[in-house]
Amino acid sequence: MLTRIVKMTFEPENIPSFERLFKASEKEIRAFPGCVNVNLLQDIKDPSVFFTYSHWESEAALEAYRNSEFFKGVWGQTRTLFSERPKAWSLALRDLK
């Protein structure tokens, strides 16, 4: 299992556009092969900062999604709304027993 966290900062006037875009896309993201779940989080102190928090069956599943035409289209629209460069992390749960 892989967790992907993406931090995105938007121009305040672009937040409604991003929210509409995410709402229109989230069902298809969840239905993508290998996607376990995806959630959208908003910073409580800075409402222009959002995070996507997604779980994937494997790194290969995430990469297949990132290389899909669907992702390229959605990301192409999303990136025009940023006020800062996004940051992303791919994380694996560590069991140190």
Total residue count of the chain as it appears in this document = 97
The domain limits of the chain are 2-92
pLDDT for 97 equals 81
How do residues 30-84 score in pLDDT, each as one tens digit? 999 999 999 999 999 999 999 999 999 999 999 999 999 999 999 999 999 999 9
* pLDDT attached to residue 95: 83
- For the domain covering 2-92, report its CATH number: 3.30.70.100
Neighbours of 18 (CB within 10 A): 20
CA angle 32, 33, 39 (to 5 degrees): 50
- The pLDDT value recorded for residue 93 is 87
Collapsed DSSP state (helix, strand, coil) of residue 7: strand
- pTM score, whole prediction: 0.92
